[in-house]
Amino acid sequence: MTNVMKKIKVFAALLAASLGVVSCNEDFLTVTPLGVLSEGTLSNAAGVNFVLTGAYSLLDGVQTNVGSAFPDWTGSADNWVYGSVASDDAYKGSNAGDQPEISLIEAYTHTGDLTHFRGKWRAVYDGIARTNDVIQLVEKATDMTDVQKTQAVAQARFLRGHYHFEARKMFKNVPYIDDKTYSSGDANSTKLPNDKEIWPNIETDLKFAYDNLPNRWAGAPGRVTKWAAGATLAKAMMFQNKFADAKTILEAIVANGGYTLVARYHDNFRAPTNNNTESIFEIQHSVNDGAAISNNGNRGHTLNFPYGGGALTTCCGFFQPSQNLVNAFKTNADGLPFLDDFNAVDVPGNNSQTFTGNLDPRLDWTVGRDGVPYLDWGIHNPEYVRDRAYAGPFTPKKSSPYRSENGTLTWTGNPRMNANNYRIIRLSHVLLWLAECEVEAGNLERARALVNQIRRRAANADGFVKLANGSNAGNYVIREYTATWTDKATAQKAVRFEQRLEFAMEGHRFFDLVRWGIADQVINDYLTVEQTRRTYLRGAKFVKGKHEYFPIPNQEILNSAKDGQATLKQNPGF
The predicted-structure confidence for 218-262, as pLDDT tens digits, reads as follows 988 899 999 999 999 999 999 999 999 999 999 999 999 999 999
Q: How confident is the model at residue 27 (pLDDT cuts 50, 70, 90)?
A: very low
Q: Is residue 494 part of a domain?
A: no
Nearest C-alpha neighbor of 534 from the set 386, 322, 385, 345 = 322
Contact of 129 with 67, CB cutoff 8 Å: no
Contact of 447 with 491, CB cutoff 8 Å: yes
Q: For 168-210, write each residue's pLDDT tens digit.
A: 999 999 999 999 987 666 778 889 999 999 999 999 999 999 9
Q: Is residue 308 part of a domain?
A: no
Q: Is residue 417 part of a domain?
A: no
Maximum distance among all alpha carbons in the chain? 72
- Cα(46)–Cα(3) distance, integer angstroms: 15
Q: For 454-464, write each residue's pLDDT tens digit.
A: 999 999 999 99
Provide the domain limits for residue 64: 1-78+112-209+545-574
Mean pLDDT within 35-56: 83
252-259: list long-range contacts, CB under 8 Å, 24+ apart: 253/227, 253/280, 253/430, 254/427, 254/430, 254/431, 254/434, 256/215, 257/215, 257/227, 257/427, 258/215, 259/227, 259/426, 259/427, 259/430
Residues belonging to the chain: 574
What is the CATH number for 574? Answer: 1.25.40
Q: How confident is the model at residue 308 (pLDDT cuts 50, 70, 90)?
A: confident
Q: Is residue 156 part of a domain?
A: yes
Contact of 52 with 44, CB cutoff 8 Å: no
Q: Is residue 574 part of a domain?
A: yes
Q: Is residue 72 part of a domain?
A: yes
Beta strands in 272-380, from DSSP E residues, in sequence order: 279-283, 318-321, 330-331, 358-359, 367-368
Contact of 455 with 272, CB cutoff 8 Å: no
Q: Is residue 258 part of a domain?
A: no
- Cα(17)–Cα(120) distance, integer angstroms: 20
Nearest C-alpha neighbor of 396 from the set 420, 414, 413 = 420
SS3 call for 416: strand
Q: Which has more pLDDT, 417 or 317?
A: 317
Average pLDDT over the chain reads 90
Number of domains in the chain: 1
The yes-or-no verdict on residue 393 having pLDDT over 90 is: yes
The yes-or-no verdict on residue 302 having pLDDT over 90 is: no
- Cα(263)–Cα(64) distance, integer angstroms: 38
Nearest C-alpha neighbor of 423 from the set 402, 399, 403, 395 = 399
The yes-or-no verdict on residue 113 having pLDDT over 50 is: yes
Q: For 493-527, write each residue's pLDDT tens digit.
A: 999 999 999 999 999 999 999 999 999 999 999 99
The yes-or-no verdict on residue 19 having pLDDT over 90 is: no
Q: Is residue 146 part of a domain?
A: yes
